[in-house]
Amino acid sequence: MRAIFRDEQKQNEFMRKGYAQFPFLSANDVNHLLAEMKELTPDDRFDPDGSAICRNTFHSSFLDTNADYKQKTYDLISELVGPRLKDILADYKILLCQFVVKPPGKGDLLPHQNWNFVRNHKNTTVTVWCPLTDVGVSNGTLRVVEASHKISPFIAAPFLPNYCANFEAEIREKYSTPITLNAGECVIFDDSLLHWSEPNRSKESRDVMVVECIPAESVGTIFFFDRESPENEFEVLEVDSSFFVRNTPDRLLRRPPNVNGLGFVPNNNELLSEAQFLDLMGKGEDTRNKLYNGEITEDSNGLMDRLKFWKHLMN
């Protein structure tokens, strides 16, 4: 398979757990980002009230409606962390940069996978999650379900439920690991890894820098599902960093105009039961091996035949 990390030990750890931790930013870097962030002016003033379409009570640069703020955030973060990521990741490029801020008492985030940012599951995309304050269970740190990456051909897309929607409470209570990090350390995780977080129960803001990275040779994508389409298929749309500056999730209720389409793929998503989830987790190592070794076929658009793969997994 294609290397993700330059360090072989970190590569092996990532493949086993779905994430790996790294020292990343210096104290000066952290202070610089915090100072610059406080000079920026998102429309929600880093304290959303939950009234937006995503009902979020935490700030996310992508969710904000101020394009000038979002561009400045992208420029600020990418300029600082781009050279550092080249030393960690094996030929990846930045697709999205954002600040994620949880004010005191706010910021619950349900278990989910990140969207599919490339069109084939074989190409691993990653999130770099770097707190600018110390994080732990008291202030809403990241929680992950170890080894839940690459267990199914589920497509994560805007405004669709995740496959674990019917047993979210069990994910929270039985299968999750909290990530404790000091400011400037980071965790890099596979975007298909289930993750979530509790509200910030501390008296201080929980500030995090988030960077989305995809293989340098890949085309950035999102999968768009048109609810008014009788075919009920996903259209694979080509996107770049400017797409996430120009758009907010509410604009993805309809197909964004002036975006290049890369083909269609059937919607074979299924909501799993907890028992099915555990069965797939047990097959996870075999699933990843088949995926990376090329035993999972692709169609003429380079899209994985997810229906055949799904039937293989459920047998």
pLDDT by position in tens, the chain (length 315): 789 999 999 999 999 999 999 999 999 999 999 999 999 999 999 999 988 777 899 999 999 999 999 999 999 999 999 999 999 999 999 999 999 999 999 999 999 999 999 998 789 999 999 999 999 999 999 999 999 998 877 899 998 999 999 999 999 999 999 999 999 999 999 999 999 999 999 999 999 999 999 999 999 999 999 877 756 789 999 999 999 999 988 888 899 999 999 999 888 899 999 999 999 999 888 877 777 676 665 554 444 455 455 444 444
What does each C-alpha distance from 89 to 125, 189, 215, 282 come to in angstroms? Answer: 11, 12, 9, 28
Give CA angle at 212 (76, 274), nearest 5°: 145
Q: How many CB atoms lie within 10 A of CB 94?
A: 18
Report how far residue 99's alpha carbon sits from residue 62's, in angstroms, rounded to the nearest whole number: 9
Closest CA to 248 of 274, 280, 273, 222: 222
Q: Which pLDDT score, from 0 to 100, does residue 230 have?
A: 58
* Per-position DSSP letters for 142-192, written without gaps between them: EEE-TT-TTSS-PPP-TT---TTGGGHHHHHHHS-EEPPB-TTEEEEEETT
Report how far residue 94's alpha carbon sits from residue 99's, in angstroms, rounded to the nearest whole number: 15
Report how far residue 37's alpha carbon sits from residue 103's, in angstroms, rounded to the nearest whole number: 14
Helix spans in the chain (H): 8-17, 27-39, 67-88, 168-174, 241-246, 274-282, 284-292, 306-314
313 phi/psi in degrees, rounded to 5: -65, -40
Q: How many CB atoms lie within 10 A of CB 66?
A: 17
Closest CA to 42 of 21, 20, 64: 64
What does each C-alpha distance from 54 to 57, 66, 92, 160 come to in angstroms? Answer: 9, 16, 29, 12
Closest CA to 222 of 159, 306, 272, 290: 159
Report how far residue 157's alpha carbon sits from residue 115's, in angstroms, rounded to the nearest whole number: 5
Q: Which pLDDT score, from 0 to 100, does residue 296 have?
A: 60
Q: Kindly list the structural domains of the chain, giving each domain's residue range(s) and its CATH number in brackets, ordered by start.
A: 8-314 (2.60.120.620)
Assigned token pair, 300: 């003429």
Per the document, the length of the chain is 315
- Contacts of 225 by beta carbon, 8 Å cutoff, 6+ apart: 157, 158, 159, 160, 232, 233, 234, 235, 267
* Per-position DSSP letters for 190-228, written without gaps between them: ETTS-EEE----SSS-EEEEEEEEEETTSPPEEEEE-TT
For the four alpha carbons of 22, 26, 30 and 36, in that order, the dihedral sign comes to: negative
Assigned token pair, 91: 């030929």
Q: Which pLDDT score, from 0 to 100, does residue 53 have?
A: 76
User: What is the pairing mode between strands 206-215 and 19-23?
Assistant: unpaired
In the sheet that 261-266 helps form, which strands lie side by side, from edge to edge? 221-225, 233-238, 261-266
